[in-house]
Amino acid sequence: MTFFFQNVVNALQYGSFYALIALGYSMVYSILMLFNFAHGDIFMTGAYIGFGVATGLTVLAAAGTIVLPNWLILVLTILIAMFLTSMLGMLVERLGYRPLRDAPRASAAITGMMIGLILEYGNLLLLGPQRRSFPRLIQTVTYDVGGVILTNKKIMIVAVSMVLMYALHLFISRTRWGLAMRAMAFDHVVVPLMGVPINTIARLTFALGSALAAVAGIFFGLAYPVLDPYMGIVFGWKAFVAAILGGRGSVMGATIAGFMLGFIEIFVAMVFPSTLRDLIAYSIILGILVFRPHGLFGEAYSARLRL
Amino acid sequence: MPLLDVKKMTHYFGGLRAVHDYHLSIEPGQIRGLIGPNGAGKTTIFNLLTGIHKPTEGEILLDGNSLVGLFPHQIAALGLGRTFQNLCLWRHMTVLEHVMLARYARLDYGLVGAFFGTAKRQRQEAESEIVARKLLRMLGIEDLAEQNVLNLSYGNQRRVEMARALATEPKILFLDEPTAGMTPEELIQMMAIIRQVHAELGLAIFLIEHRLKMVMELCEQIQTLVFGEVIAEGTPEEIQNNPQVIEAYLGKETLH
């Protein structure tokens, strides 16, 4: 039983990564009808930006140039990385996708993959092929709750992720920007005639998705303190699967499917040898999609942004 | 000074001349009609004026501001509202949400406000909702505010479209066949609504309509468009008796 709950905790943590990344795929898809295949690499870049900011601040703090407690370094790292990564997302939208707004979808998909490769190899060029370890910003504190081992990092990762997802939900349901995103999922002709600048909304959507991916990247760095330039590939694809499983365009779907993916992976690994984990886990998901091809919260012939 | 002033507007789709040397001048508060057979270019003119297409040549002034080359959202913000020939509503969104979104350009709280729920955001969204509900009440669909638009009857969906266009706070309202596909009762209601909107809000209205009877009753001035050119312009009586208009609609009478 303890073993079971231990896995629930791990699954929640993994699910948070997937959900945070999947939201970016789903939001962009819903308003622009394209999957941003560079999104996994934006996650990777976000992690590296976080790594850079955290390392820089740690060095400065150690040298005594600035006085910062470690927790504050973490908060600043998250905020700065969210900001910079959303800039990157907006740049990708502006340079990569906006010129292709009316081009065939395949062109946009290929462009996304190219942007991903540019980010991967740009990183390789800048920092070299060796892996980087993320600074240990917070001391791991372990709690034993009835045999289940919780760490302060895990609690923080899951809690902050959920708060961010809830904030996104409020943003989409309560504000004029969110309303505009949802309408833009339906058409690009009428929405501007109602006074809504659709390019701004598209930029905003990329910014939001990228900021969430940056948080996922930093949390990944905290939990598994090793970064490499290719870390975005597998994570990106898995989060993409979560976006499809949730139903394209569904915010709720992407969130739930992200966590579901975490649970399926962890629990498959609990029963079967871990080398078979992805084979079995993704066969299960394929099975679900056979019966629900539009995903859990998806709708036939439609991929509108919904709550 | 006219509210909307269009001079020498010409537009080509590739080699096809869709609109030729089009002139229009609408005074504040005036109701103008645009009629013409199918394919005459009526909707194209709407699309040119609202910024969906950029005219090949010509000048468009709204209240002294040139609209040529502006983005559609900028034109909407300057005070040009519009409805569509085919209903263009957003599935998955409620009636109230449709109308509230059209208030986008009238609110100015920023992203920080949006995320942290500042007092400014709360106040603006709340005021916006009041305006939206007032419009819905005016159009008689206030009790449907929370409904998904898909659940509404066709006539009520048309009203949502109208409310949405009005929510942008236009100085001039473009109506593209507002009674297309309506039953006779719905048509009478829609005419009453147009009259009411005109009377209460004092808007200028520019109307495309197929049903001549309706145009004749509502409009002070009517233009007849054939193959992208205005062949006749005048009061309803003048238009009704114009031989060219009769020819365009009914064909030429040949005597042997």
Cα-Cα-Cα-Cα dihedral sign, residues B45, B51, B53, B59: positive
The DSSP letter of residue A95 is: I
Q: Can you list the domains of chain B with their CATH numbers?
A: 4-79+170-250 (3.40.50.300)
Q: At what angle do helices A2-32 and A176-184 cross, to 10 degrees?
A: 70
Percent of chain B at pLDDT exceeding 90: 56
B chain contacts of residue A196, beta-carbon cutoff 8 Å: 73, 101, 104-105
CA distance B115 to chain A (A): 6
* Residue B11 sits at the chain A interface (C-beta within 8 Å): no
Mean pLDDT (whole number) for B192-203:
91
Question: Which helix or strand (DSSP H or E) is residue A244 part of?
Answer: helix A231-246
According to DSSP, the β-strands at B80-82 and B172-176 are parallel
Rounded CA gap, A230 and A41, in Å?
Answer: 8
Q: What is the pLDDT of residues A256-276, one digit of tens each?
A: 999 999 999 999 998 899 889
pLDDT at A191 over 70: yes
Predicted local distance difference test score (pLDDT) of residue B253: 64
Question: Is B115 in contact with A186 (Cβ distance < 8 A)?
Answer: no
* Residue B71 sits at the chain A interface (C-beta within 8 Å): yes
- Residue A114 CA, chain-centre distance (Å), reads 19
Predicted local distance difference test score (pLDDT) of residue B210: 78
Q: What is the pLDDT of residues B24-36, one digit of tens each?
A: 999 999 999 999 8
pLDDT at B255 over 80: no
Q: What is the ipTM of this complex?
A: 0.87
**Partner residue facing A171 (CB), from B91, B114, B167:** B114
pLDDT at A301 over 60: no
User: Where residue B90 falls among pLDDT bands split at 50, 70, 90?
Assistant: confident
Q: Where are the domains of chain A?
A: 24-230
Locus of tokens 């949400």: B97
**Partner residue facing A196 (CB), from B51, B73, B88:** B73
pLDDT at B124 over 60: yes
pLDDT at B182 over 80: yes
Phi, psi (rounded to 5 degrees) for B221: -135, 140
Question: Is B93 in contact with A182 (Cβ distance < 8 A)?
Answer: yes
Average pLDDT, chain B: 89
**Partner residue facing A186 (CB), from B52, B91, B105:** B91
Mean pLDDT (whole number) for A75-90:
96
Q: What is the pLDDT of residues A117-138, one digit of tens each?
A: 999 999 999 998 888 999 888 8
pTM score = 0.90
